[in-house]
Structures are given as C-alpha cells and as structure tokens.
Amino acid sequence: MNKIVPDGWIDLQVNGFVGVDFSAPGLTVADIRRVTEVLVRRGTAAYCPTVVTSAMERYEENLPVLVAAMEEPDLNPHLLGIHLEGPFLSLEGRGAHQAALLRKPDVQLLDHWLTLAKGHISLLTLAPEVEGAEALIRHAVARGVMVLLGHHVADGASIDRAVRAGARGCTHLGNGIPNILPRHPNPIWSQLADDRLIAMLITDGHHLPVEFVRSVLRVKGLDRCIVTSDAAPIAGLPPGRYTWMGTELVSEPLGRIGLANTDVLAGSSATMADCVAWLRSWSQLDEQDLRKLCRENPLRLLGKY
C-alpha cells in the first residue's frame, strides 16, 4: 500500500539544498533532515534526493545514509525514493557531470546499488545511446526502477529502442544536451514527438525560455509533462562563488547557477514554488493545471497517485 504523501508540490530531482550535497562526502541524516525541513517550509511536500555522477565510494557511503533518512518516521513521508542521475551518461551530453566519473551501463553495479539502497532507487537517468543501455533499462524496469533519458545525444532509433525497453520519460527535456545541435534530426525533436515519453521540465526561468516550455506543453499535453526544480546543493545560499566536486560554481544574483567561466548550467537555485511562480507569471495555466504538472503527474510516474 502506498504511503500517504503530504499535500504540496512534488520534486523528482533535488541534488541538494542550503549547502547540503547528496553526492558529497560526509553526508548525514541530520543534513537530509535540514534540507527536508527547509524544502517543506518552502512548499515542497516530498522529493527524490538525487545522487549525480560520482566516485564509487560516494555511492557506497551515501546510499545507505539516504536509506537511513527514509527510515526516520518524520522524514519518510517527504522522501519518495532515490534518483540516480548518472553515471551512465554520454560524454557529449554530460553537462556539469564529471567526464572522468562516467561509466558504461552495468547491470551488476545497479544491482549492488539497489542492495545498498534496500531497493529504494526510484529513478535512474541514463543516456540511451551508450553501449549496454538497452539491457540495463530492461533490468532496471524489472527491478522496479523507473528509467528516464537524460544527458545524451541519442538519435531517434536509440531513443525508440530505449522506450521499447521500458524507459518512460525525459529528465529535464531541453537541458543536459549540447548547446549546438543539428536543425533536424536531433534528440529534442525525437523525444518531443514520442508520445510514450513524459517530459520533465525545469521551469526556473533560466534553464528554458517561455517559447520552449509553451511548445512542449502544447505538444505533449498536460498529462505528459512534469515540472522539476533540479535544485543544486548551493540553492538557498547567497549569490557568490562556490566549489562543487572540485569545480567552481557561480550563483548569480538573479538565480542562475553555472560552471564558472562557461555557459554550462549546474542545476538551479529554485524550489518547486519558484518554478510554479515562473509558470504563473506568463502562462494561462490554472491551479488544477499546475497541480497536475507539479504534484499529480510526478506521483503518478512513481506509482504513488
């Protein structure tokens, strides 16, 4: 029986918040409690803590800590399962993920992580064109993990094979992809046109322009779209320069977060409430539409609605 999820917005990708990084050394249950309390106060009722592409020891250490947090009675209603974003991503589409830590899809490795996580891995983002992706997708789905496509440059045939294998959605469609693409074909068109795929969108006002979000909503329809924040570990901190995984990040006064001296984004500074506010500022979506995008659809994807 599914647990009762508190009322409020649902976020399927939170990489960290207020200086807490779910992929960093030394993560504690107290850290996760701090993030959760802040997010709940700001309108995010429940979320998927996300571990990005990391060194192997980070998975060994952090997955059990995340599970321990999920077993805490006060935290359990707010934690919907772990989201692994990587490390099975493409080099060309990696974005802010570290190239040296990328790995080829590995069924045995995923099984090991599922054991560490006591089965609480809900989402896996991978690149469908990487060798071994199709077999891993089939295995992950059989183990109850929802597979999303992200940080890739896959062609239409690779995307189709991934969907046939069981992939259900696109992690932050329009992001996690090179800035320069062929007019057509390209991965955005292929994913946009595939009615089998749910599109996740970062509506923080920095990741995507209004025209793109409006087009995706029209093509996919409200039933096949989900809003996520992709909140970065430095979200909730004052603007400035920070170090993340040995890389310098810049958090700008208007909220954009990126790798220093590049045009590469590195997550957002937004909460789900911020993402909803940006949608309200220009769209004609009513409150039921927003609830569908930001609560009902993500819970439905996880089988919790």
pLDDT digits (tens, 9 = 90+) for 115-129: 999 999 999 999 999
pLDDT reported for residue 1: 39
Mean pLDDT of 99-114: 97
Backbone angles phi, psi at 83, to 5 degrees: -110, 120
Round to whole Å and give the CA distance between 278 and 245. 29
Amino acid at 80: L
Mean pLDDT of 17-31: 97
Round to whole Å and give the CA distance between 304 and 296. 9
Find the CATH number of the domain harbouring 113.
3.20.20.140
Question: Alpha carbon 22 to chain centroid distance?
Answer: 13
Share of the chain above pLDDT 90, in %: 91
Hunting for tokens 């569908």 — which residue is that? 292
Look at residue 1 and tell me if it is in a domain. Answer: no
Mean pLDDT of 30-54: 98
Is residue 45 pLDDT above 80, yes or no?
A: yes
Nearest to 48 by CA among 148, 107, 120: 120
| Whole-number average pLDDT of the chain | 96
Look at residue 76 and tell me if it is in a domain. Answer: yes
Mean pLDDT of 29-52: 98
- Residue 247 pLDDT level (bands cut at 50, 70, 90): confident
**Could you tell me how many residues make up the chain?**
305
Round to whole Å and give the CA distance between 35 and 43. 12
Higher-scoring residue by pLDDT: 265, 148: 148
Round to whole Å and give the CA distance between 64 and 233. 19
Alpha helices in 199-271 (DSSP H): 210-220
From 170-174, 243-247, 279-283, the region with the lowest mean pLDDT: 243-247
pLDDT reported for residue 219: 97
Nearest to 192 by CA among 214, 161, 207, 166: 214
From 8-17, 125-134, 259-268, the region with the lowest mean pLDDT: 259-268
Its domain, for residue 295, covers: 9-301
Look at residue 235 and tell me if it is in a domain. Answer: yes
Per the structure, the count of domains in the chain is 1
Look at residue 4 and tell me if it is in a domain. Answer: no
Alpha helices in 71-209 (DSSP H): 107-116, 133-142, 156-165, 187-193
Backbone angles phi, psi at 278, to 5 degrees: -65, -40
Active site residues: 230
Round to whole Å and give the CA distance between 64 and 66. 5
- Residue 2 pLDDT level (bands cut at 50, 70, 90): low
Look at residue 2 and tell me if it is in a domain. Answer: no
Is residue 95 pLDDT above 90, yes or no?
A: no
Look at residue 3 and tell me if it is in a domain. Answer: no
Type and span of the H or E element at 58? helix 56-70
